[in-house]
Structure 1
Amino acid sequence: MTPEGQELLRRGGQALGLDLTPHEEQFARLLELLRAGNERLNLTALKQEKDIVLKHFVDSLTCLRGGHLDGELRTLDLGTGAGFPALPLAIVRPQLHLTPLDSIRKKIEFVRSAAQALGLMQVTPLVGRAETLGRDPAHRECYDRVVARAVAALPVLAELALPLLKVGGRFVAQKGPITPEELEAGQKAAREVGGQLTEVDPFTLPLSGDARTLVVLEKIRHTPAAYPRREGVPTHQPLFWKAK
């Protein structure tokens, strides 16, 4: 990582109330791993150091807003892709027990190798789909937290995430600007599968000024046995929402 990249990382962290200086070496190594992996696997469209530092590393850490991930929490990263937000979270919050989940095996293999290279022993990557995990007794209603970063519309995410949460657990969704219509549909979907909307936190991404929204759903009762529906249905036929 160049001095300019280090400065961006520090300033981005400071804007979030985080001192990332002790973690610079790990983030620099993650940048190297991501660039090398991208040449072989096409992991991310972001290629420039500035974009990776701000829109992958710092952006991933915005889900720490509000203190929802404080403590030793069993946390699943839904649709992790190349490991975001899971890997930056694991670097900064080593007490989190993280399960990055993605249906694309090559991406999970990258996340696994990167976690090992970075010494992140608390990261356990998993290949699979949330619809299947949500019906597996080893995962259904077993997590303290679920996080997801720009994966799908809120009604889809509610149906995929809430079945994985324990009662009392929270789903933290990292999104861009969110319309009132999507928010209303997400609230209805959350209620249908055992949850409720507890927080909507609009903000701007440090240094870039891009609009972001943190949406938090809390699991308040057990998810009905009908949910999640079979693979692909939540995405193509979202609850209370016309698929875009």
Structure 2
Amino acid sequence: MTPDGRKLLLDSAMAFGVNLEPALPRFELLYERLVEASATTNLTAIRDERGIVLKHFVDSLSCLKSSKLEGPLRVIDVGTGAGFPGLPLKMVRPELEMTFLDATQKKIAFIEEVCRAMNLAQTHCIWGRAEELGHNPAHRETYDRALSRAVSALNTLSELCLPLVKVGGFMIAQKSQRVEGELEQAQAAIRKLGGTVQEVISFKLPGLGELRTLVVIEKTSPTPPAYPRRAGVPAKNPLS
């Protein structure tokens, strides 16, 4: 990472009240590994330094605006891709027990390698689908928090994430646009899955000025046993 890239990362994180100085070597290592791996493997479409710093690292850290990631929580990052938002969050909140879930094996392999290189404790990498994990007794309703910045609609994301969250826990969905209409369409599905929208936080991403939104959903009652439905169904036929 260049000096300009480091300064951009430090300054942008400080806009969220996060001092990244202690974790900077790990962010530099993640940047180097991501650039190196992306040269031969399709991990991310974002390849330039500014894009990686702002759209991956800083965007991931924006989850901290929710104030729901304090303490030794058990967290699952659903559809993590190359490790976002989970890796940057784990790097600045080492007390989090972070599970990375993705359906693409090469992405999970990349995260495993990075976690080993950084000696990150309490990290778990799972190659699989949320529709299946949500029915696994070892995972169903066992997590304090579920994170996702996938592009799926909010009702689809809720069906993938909420079955994994224990009652009293929270799901945090990262969205890249205004969500009023999407949220209205998803309200019935969220209730059906045992959730209640607690907070919607809108802000502009430092360094880019692009709109971002966090939708914070509390798990207020158990998810009915029928959910999540079988693999692929939540995306093809979203709950209403």
Unpaired segments ≥5 residues, structure 1 = none
Residues 125-164 of structure 1: CA distance to partner in whole angstroms, max 9, x if unpaired? 1101000000110110010000001331100011111100
Are 1:200 and 1:213, in contact at CA under 8 Å, matched by a contact in 2? yes
Instruction: Give the CA RMSD over aligned residues.
Output: 0.9
Are 2:195 and 2:221, in contact at CA under 8 Å, matched by a contact in 1? yes
Q: 1: distance between equivalents of 2:180 and 2:167?
A: 26
Match of 2:220 in 1: 220
Alignment partner of 1:116 is 2:116: yes
Are 2:66 and 2:216, in contact at CA under 8 Å, matched by a contact in 1? no
Q: 2: distance between equivalents of 1:159 and 1:29?
A: 34
Alignment partner of 1:12 is 2:12: yes
Percentage of pairs with the same residue: 52
Match of 1:106 in 2: 106
Question: Which aligned pairs between 1:174-189 and structure 2 lie closer than 5 A?
Answer: 174-189=174-189
Are 1:79 and 1:102, in contact at CA under 8 Å, matched by a contact in 2? yes
Deviates more, 1:118-127 or 1:198-207: 118-127
Q: What amino acid is the match of 2:12?
A: G
State the shift of 1:181 in Å: 2.2
Are 1:195 and 1:217, in contact at CA under 8 Å, matched by a contact in 2? yes
State the shift of 1:170 in Å: 0.1
SS in 2 for 1:68: coil
State the shift of 1:66 in Å: 2.6
Q: 2: distance between equivalents of 1:46 and 1:163?
A: 31
**Which runs of structure 1 show a deviation greater than 3 angstroms over 4 or more consecutive aligned residues?**
none
Residues 49-77 of structure 1: CA distance to partner in whole angstroms, max 9, x if unpaired? 11101110010000011311111000000
Q: What amino acid is the match of 1:115?
A: C
Match of 2:66 in 1: 66
Match of 1:139 in 2: 139
Unpaired segments ≥5 residues, structure 2 = none
Q: 1: distance between equivalents of 2:94 and 2:150?
A: 23
State the shift of 1:179 in Å: 3.6
SS in 1 for 2:39: helix
Q: 1: distance between equivalents of 2:81 and 2:5?
A: 22
Match of 1:234 in 2: 234
Alignment partner of 1:89 is 2:53: no
Are 1:79 and 1:151, in contact at CA under 8 Å, matched by a contact in 2? no
Are 1:90 and 1:122, in contact at CA under 8 Å, matched by a contact in 2? no
State the shift of 1:186 in Å: 2.0
Question: Which aligned pairs between 1:118-197 and structure 2 lie closer than 5 A?
Answer: 118-197=118-197
State the shift of 1:39 in Å: 1.3
Q: 1: distance between equivalents of 2:109 and 2:181?
A: 37
Q: 2: distance between equivalents of 1:221 and 1:15?
A: 35
Residues 165-207 of structure 1: CA distance to partner in whole angstroms, max 9, x if unpaired? 1000100001111342211122211101111100111100011
Q: 2: distance between equivalents of 1:71 and 1:133?
A: 25
Q: What amino acid is the match of 1:158?
A: S
Aligned pairs, number:
240
Q: What amino acid is the match of 2:167?
A: V
TM-score by structure 1 length?
Answer: 0.96
Q: 2: distance between equivalents of 1:178 and 1:150?
A: 15
Are 2:143 and 2:165, in contact at CA under 8 Å, matched by a contact in 1? yes
Q: 1: distance between equivalents of 2:220 and 2:179?
A: 24
> In the superposition, relative to structure 1, how do residues 237 and 159 fare at CA in structure 2: closer, same or farther (>3 Å)?
same
